[in-house]
Structure 1
C-alpha cells in the first residue's frame, strides 16, 4: 500500500509572500524594464492626442475599423494609459523591493571583518608558497603591512594568518546603479506630473504671451494648472539664417550654417524688456520654463479681400519646409469669405523656378526669388466641427475652383502681386515675406533629479565593471629548519579575475624582498609543507 504524500499548503500569506519575492527579483525587474521599452513603441508609431489632436482625429476617421479599437486600448495616449502606468509602477516597486534588501546586506558586509583564512591557502585558484628566513610573527606583520599598503582591509583571526579583502565598491557601484534607476523613474514621474511643454510658431515682429491660448500645441502634466503659467512675454525681433553659398562641393551648397533668433523678453507684462538671443542647443531660460529654438521657416504676408475690397484675411502665414531648399507647404483659411468660405493650399518657394519634370521647386533655401504657387477651394472649412491642423486643408466638403478651360485654378504670385479670383470672389495679394521661429517651451521640474541620477548610474556602472572583488589569505607555519617559516598565500575572487595571480605573486615578491629566502622552496617539499599546514589547521 502506497502512502499518500500530503503537499504543504501555502495559504493566503504564503502566496502573497511568494508573489512579492517574484516581483522583487532582479529577473522580474529586467523583464519589466524591457516591457516598458516595448510599451513605448506605440507612442512613436501612432499619433498621440496630447501632441496633435487633429492628426489623431484624422487617423481615427480614416481607419473606421482599427481606429476606435486602438483608441480604446490607449494607443493614441500611450504615456497616460492605465496599462503603461501599471508597468511603470510595477517596475518602480520591483526595483525598490530588489535593491533595498541588497543594500542592507551589503552594508552589513562592509562592516564585517574578512573571513578566517583557510587551512590550506595554497589550494585556492591563485596561490604561491615560499619559505623565508624570519620568525612567523614578523612574517605575519609584514604580510599585513604589505596588504594594507595595497588598500586591502586586513584582520588576523589568529597569530599565524592574515585575511585581507578589497573591492567592496564593486557591489556599491552595482547598488548605486540600480538605486539611480529608481531616482531616474522618480525624476521622470515628477516631470510628467508637474511638467508641461508647448510648441509655437512666431513670425518675426510678433509677440508671444505665455498663455494656453497662444500655443499651437500644449501638453500639460496631470497635476498642472494651465491657467497658472508664468506670465512672461517674448517678441521675435529678428531671425538670422545663414546658408552655405560659396562652397560648390556636393552636398554642401545650401546647407545651414547658423540660426539665431534675436528676441525681447519680459518676465511680466510690466517688467523691463531684456534683449536676448536663442540658438540651436543654446536655449533661453525664463521664469519656470526653457525656450528652445527647434525650427524656422518662412511666413509669407498674404491679404485676401472680398469683391468690395474689404480685407477678410491678412497676416503672416507660416508655411512648413519640406526639404533642404525650404520648399514649404501651407494653407490659408478664409472663414469670413462670402458667399462661401475659401481655402488656399499650395507652396512657398524661397528661390522659385518651375522644372519641366518636377514642377514648382526651390533652388536655394534663402529668399532670393520668393513665389507662391496656390490652388483654391470653396465650401465648408471645418466639416462637422472636427479639429484639424492649421497647416492642412480638409477638402471633403469643398470644391476646387477651375479656370475658363475647366482646369483646376493655379495661382502664381511674387511679392507685390495681386490675383483676382474668378466669379467675383475677391482677390489675393502676396505682400511680402517674413521669417518665423519655431519655439518649444518646456517646464520640467524633475530634470535635475533625472540628470543627477543618470550620472550616478553611469558612475556606478563603471565602478561595477572596473573594480574587482578580491580576498587574499596568508598562513604561516614552521619551516624545514631553525628560523625558517613557510608562507602559503592564496587568492579568491568573486567572478573571473585574470589579475588575481599577479596580486598573489606581488605579495610574495614583497615578502621575499624583505626577508631572505635562503635556498628557496623546492617544489618537491610542497607535500611536506601541506602536511605541516594540516597539522596546524
Structure 2
C-alpha cells in the first residue's frame, strides 16, 4: 500500500527534476547563443579596449617599475588603493583576463559556424530567380528582337565578363539566369575576425612562453641573460628558467641627448654582445626604438640615470674606492635622483656596516642650504649625502630594497647617523666618527630590458591580415542579378524572334550601382535598337 502511495510522488519529483534540468539547459543555450553572437563579440572587444585604458594612464610594473615606485612616493594615499585595483598591472589583472577570455570564447563560438556556412555558400550556386521580379527594388522588363537562346548566351557572357558567378536554368518557355558576385566581401569579413582571433592567440602565446627581464647597468658593467641577475623578471608559466638564450652584454658607453629645454631626446648605448660563453664579442649600438635582436630575444634601452662614485676612508685607514650604486630619478624633468650606497662589512671585525643615503643633482643649485636640481643635463653635478654606521639588516631575512635603507634599523637604533654633507665633484667631508667621504664623480647607467615574445611574428601577420580583410570588406560590394528570358507570342505586331527579358537586381549597401548594372546589361542586349517596352525603378 505504501509503495502504491509513493509511486505518484516519485513520478512527480522526477518530472519536477526533469523540468528544472530542461529549464536550466534552455537557459544555458540562451546564454551560449548570447555569448557567441557577433554583437556580444563587438561589445567585448569594446570592453577590452576600455579595460586597457588604465594601462596608458598609470605606470606599469612590467614596463617601468621605477615610475611605479615614484608614483607611490608622490601619492602615498592613492597609490595603495590603485594597486589593489590592479592599476599598475592592468594587463595581468583578473578583470582584464576575464574580458580577454570571454572575447576569445565568443569569437570561437561565433566564427566556427559562420566559417562552415560560408564554405557551403562558396560551393553553392547562386539562389534561384524569385517568382515576382517586379517586387524587387530595382527591376526592368524589355522586349529584345533576338531569339531567347541568343539573349541568354549574350547575357550570361556579359555577366561572366563582369566576374559574376552565373547559374542558368531552363524553364517552360524560356530560361532563368541567376548571377552573383561579391561573396569575397563575406570572406574578407571572416578573415578579419579570424585574424583577430589569431591575434588574441598570439598574444596569449607570447604571455605563456615569453619573458621580460629588467636591469640597471652602469657604464663599464655588464650582465648575462639569467633570471637571477635581473632586478625584475616576469616570465610566462611555460617558460623554462634554465633554457634562456645564453647571451651576455657589456655596456661600454651610454649617451643621452637633450632638447633645448633640457628634456631627454634620445638614448644611445654602445654594447658588446657574446652570443654564447667563449664566443667573440660583437660590437653594436642600440637605442630606444632600435633594439638588439638575437634568436627571438630583444634588448631595449628603456631609460637612463646617474650612478655617483665615492671613495670612503674609515677611521682605521681602510679605503674603499669606486663605491657606487644607481640612483633612481624621482623627477623626470630635472633628473634629481635618490639612492643608497651600502657597505655591509667594513672588515674591521666590528660587524658594523656603512651606508650613504644620497640625493644626486645633475645640475645642482643650493637654495637655503637645500640642494636641488634645475636641469637634467649633468652641467654641475652635486650630491647631498647622509652617512650611517651600524647594522644594515641585510641578513635579517626581511625583504629590503637596494635603493633605500631599512627604516626599522634606524628606528630601533641599530643604524645611526654619523654625518651629512653637500659635495661637488672632488670635494670631501669628514663625519663625526672620523670617516671621510669623497665625491669622485658619476657614470651614467642604462635601464635595459630583455624581452622574448614568441608570438611577435604571429601578431604582425595577424594584424596585416586583419587590415587586408577589413579593406576587402569595405571596398567589395555584393550584387545579385536575376533574369527571366521568355519567347514572346507571335502576332502581327511582334516578330516571332522577339524575346521578353525581365531582370531585377539587389545590392548590399545601396541600389545605385545595381541600377547602372541593369542599364548596362539592357543596353548590351539591345545594341543600337530601342526596347519594345521598358519599366522599372
Q: TM-score, normalised on structure 2? A: 0.80
Return closer, same or farther for 1:420/1:126 CA change in 2, 3 Å cut-off: farther
- 1:371 aligned partner: 382
Q: Does 1:270 align with 2:275?
A: no
Distance in structure 2 (CA, Å) of the matches to 1:420 and 1:235: 35
Helix, strand or coil: the match of 2:169? Answer: coil
- 1:465 aligned partner: 474
1:410 is displaced (CA, Å) by 5.3
Return closer, same or farther for 1:53/1:387 CA change in 2, 3 Å cut-off: farther
After TM superposition, list the pairs within 5 Å mapping 1:69-148 onto structure 2. Answer: 85-148=97-160
1:437 is displaced (CA, Å) by 1.7
1:504 is displaced (CA, Å) by 2.6
Q: Does 1:484 align with 2:493?
A: no
Q: Does 1:505 align with 2:519?
A: yes
Q: Does 1:214 align with 2:229?
A: yes
1:217 is displaced (CA, Å) by 0.8
- 1:229 aligned partner: 244
- Contact 2:142-2:531 within 8 A present in 1 as well: no
Deviations 1:214-264 (A, max 9, x none): 1111101112222332221111111233335xxxxxxx4445454321111
Q: Does 1:289 align with 2:297?
A: yes
1:304 is displaced (CA, Å) by 3.2
- 1:169 aligned partner: 184
Distance in structure 2 (CA, Å) of the matches to 1:30 and 1:190: 23
Distance in structure 1 (CA, Å) of the matches to 2:370 and 2:439: 24
Helix, strand or coil: the match of 1:438? Answer: strand
Distance in structure 1 (CA, Å) of the matches to 2:108 and 2:187: 16
1:172 is displaced (CA, Å) by 0.9
1:350 is displaced (CA, Å) by 2.7
Moved more, 332-341 or 186-195: 332-341
Q: Does 1:352 align with 2:364?
A: yes
Q: Which runs of 5+ in 2 are unaligned?
A: 1-14
Moved more, 335-344 or 490-499: 335-344
- Contact 1:50-1:219 within 8 A present in 2 as well: no
Helix, strand or coil: the match of 1:398? Answer: helix
Q: Does 1:157 align with 2:172?
A: no
Distance in structure 1 (CA, Å) of the matches to 2:400 and 2:317: 29
Return closer, same or farther for 1:24/1:382 CA change in 2, 3 Å cut-off: farther
1:320 is displaced (CA, Å) by 3.2
Distance in structure 2 (CA, Å) of the matches to 1:40 and 1:396: 38
Moved more, 467-476 or 89-98: 89-98
1:149 is displaced (CA, Å) by 1.4
- Contact 1:127-1:491 within 8 A present in 2 as well: yes
1:156 is displaced (CA, Å) by 1.1
- 1:331 aligned partner: 340
1:15 is displaced (CA, Å) by 5.1
Return closer, same or farther for 1:400/1:50 CA change in 2, 3 Å cut-off: farther
1:152 is displaced (CA, Å) by 1.0
1:499 is displaced (CA, Å) by 3.0
Matching residue within 255, 258, 264 for 1:243: 258
Helix, strand or coil: the match of 1:156? Answer: strand
Helix, strand or coil: the match of 1:157? Answer: strand
Return closer, same or farther for 1:23/1:427 CA change in 2, 3 Å cut-off: same
Residues matched between the structures, number: 501
Moved more, 343-352 or 434-443: 343-352
Deviations 1:389-428 (A, max 9, x none): 4334554553799xxxxx996522222222112243x132
Moved more, 258-267 or 330-339: 330-339
Q: Does 1:26 align with 2:38?
A: yes
1:444 is displaced (CA, Å) by 0.8
CA-based RMSD of the aligned residues comes to 4.1
Q: Does 1:518 align with 2:522?
A: no
Moved more, 46-55 or 493-502: 46-55
1:378 is displaced (CA, Å) by 6.0
Q: TM-score, normalised on structure 1? A: 0.80
Moved more, 173-182 or 377-386: 377-386
Q: Does 1:178 align with 2:193?
A: yes
